[in-house]
Amino acid sequence: MALPQTMTQVRFNGYGSPDVIEIETAPVPQPGSGQVLIEVAAAGINRPDCLQRAGGYPPPPGATEIPGLEVSGTIVAIGEGVPASRIGEKTCALVISGGYAEYAVADAALCLPVPKPLSLLEAGGLPETYYTVYDNVFTRGRLKKGETILIHGGSSGIGSTAIQLAKQAGAIVYATAGSAEKCEFCRSIGADEAIDYRAQDFTAEIKRLTGGKGVDVILDMVGGPYIQRNINALALEGRLVQIAFLQTSKVELDLMNVMLRRLTVTGSTLRARSVALKAKIAEKLLKEVWPLLEAETVRPIIHKTFLLEEARTAHELMESSAHLGKIMLEVRR
């Protein structure tokens, strides 16, 4: 079937509030060498999209300015070096940008199969969170069976994925979240305990829950005053993994515990890494995590789905932080 020349996409008309979000018609992109063109069924909304909209997270040079880090859909065209047999494949893909559109280009190496129990829509919410969580919790954070982990933002897209994967890996899982309802949600998906950070001091609670020892790994997206408190909440040889700074990355710190407790402070971003590095994460996900999705022991949790044209409302919901899990955009043809 012939592809259309043009498509609908979302763009940011400048930087700022969700009001800068506009819908436009644009040419359908062409896949380059090693790439595929996906007819998008769904695109996940991720907090970094809000940061990009506000002007703080530009796409790497050469990537489209159109937002969107993950999509699901059907491969409808291929670039040089990609086997023609991939046309027609249902896939979920990590994309460097351009996901909020009817068609998106993805590197073939970053296109994973849709796990059988999941709908195309659900699969669209996997790539950005699963790549990020797997790499930061297990590769960087080196979380092992029997260890303890504290996951901040437990009810977020990232947090709800981290809780489930850490639990499946045999860890004891603690989470923080901003209300009693969010804490209950964290426990319902596998957290052994959840701390309402607005009502309790999480450092004191972690010390109490671990008998004074502290946790082995912390996954943090908040930063600011959390940084010192995280360092104080880590056990001997503990690892702090920083994946964002929703508050600030600039603080004054007492690093004495880093030395005395032999701590590791690390972190990463996903988007700027090379396709080859991301493909290595894809291989590990396929081998170690996709079987859990196939067995339905972990699952993406979709809070609400909007039409592509409703991206502005979807961003407003994300910034209200009222959601539990993922927010999705759906393409209706």
Ligand X SMILES: NC(=O)c1ccc[n+]([C@@H]2O[C@H](COP(=O)([O-])OP(=O)(O)OC[C@H]3O[C@@H](n4cnc5c(N)ncnc54)[C@H](OP(=O)(O)O)[C@@H]3O)[C@@H](O)[C@H]2O)c1
Question: Which C-beta is closer to ligand X: that of 222 or that of 329?
Answer: 222
Question: Which C-beta is closer to ligand X: that of 148 or that of 156?
Answer: 156
**Residues ≥6 apart with Cβ < 8 Å to 181:** none
Q: Which two tokens stand for residue 107?
A: 């590197």
Compute the distance between CA of residue 4 and CA of residue 233 in angstroms, rounded to an integer. 55
Question: Could you say which residues in the range 258-277 bind ligand X, by CB under 6 A?
Answer: 268-270
> Could you give the angle at the alpha carbon of 319 between the alpha carbons of 314 and 322, nearest 5°?
85
| Residues 77-116: x where in contact with ligand X by CB under 6 A, - otherwise, as a string | ----------------------------------------
Single out the residue of 103, 95, 118, 98 nearest to residue 73, CA to CA.
Answer: 103
Question: Could you say which residues in the range 171-200 bind ligand X, by CB under 6 A?
Answer: 177-178, 182
Single out the residue of 128, 169, 177, 132 nearest to residue 148, CA to CA.
Answer: 169
Position among 48, 98, 141, 238 found at the interface with ligand X (CB under 6 A): 48
Which DSSP helix (H) or strand (E) runs through 196? Answer: strand 193-196
Q: CB 330 → ligand X: shortest distance, Å? A: 18
Position 132 contacts ligand X (CB under 6 A): yes
Question: Which C-beta is closer to ligand X: that of 106 or that of 222?
Answer: 222
Residue of minimal Cβ distance to ligand X: 156
Position among 21, 28, 149, 158 found at the interface with ligand X (CB under 6 A): 158
Question: Which C-beta is closer to ligand X: that of 103 or that of 202?
Answer: 202
Question: Which C-beta is closer to ligand X: that of 86 or that of 280?
Answer: 280
Diameter of the chain by CA atoms? 65
Position among 157, 190, 238, 300 found at the interface with ligand X (CB under 6 A): 157
Q: CB 290 → ligand X: shortest distance, Å? A: 19
**Residues ≥6 apart with Cβ < 8 Å to 36:** 75, 77, 78, 79, 82, 86, 91, 93, 105, 106, 107, 108, 111
| Residues 136-155: x where in contact with ligand X by CB under 6 A, - otherwise, as a string | -----------------x-x
DSSP characters for 278-315? HHHHHHHIIIIIHHHHHTTSS---EEEEEEGGGHHHHH
Position 74 contacts ligand X (CB under 6 A): no
| Residues 233-262: x where in contact with ligand X by CB under 6 A, - otherwise, as a string | ----------xx-xx---------------
Compute the distance between CA of residue 314 and CA of residue 237 in angstroms, rounded to an integer. 40
Compute the distance between CA of residue 101 and CA of residue 296 in angstroms, rounded to an integer. 29
Compute the distance between CA of residue 311 and CA of residue 44 in angstroms, rounded to an integer. 11
Position 221 contacts ligand X (CB under 6 A): yes
Q: CB 146 → ligand X: shortest distance, Å? A: 26
* Binding residues vs ligand X (CB under 6 A): 46-48, 128, 132, 153, 155-158, 177-178, 182, 221-222, 243-244, 246-247, 268-270, 318, 321
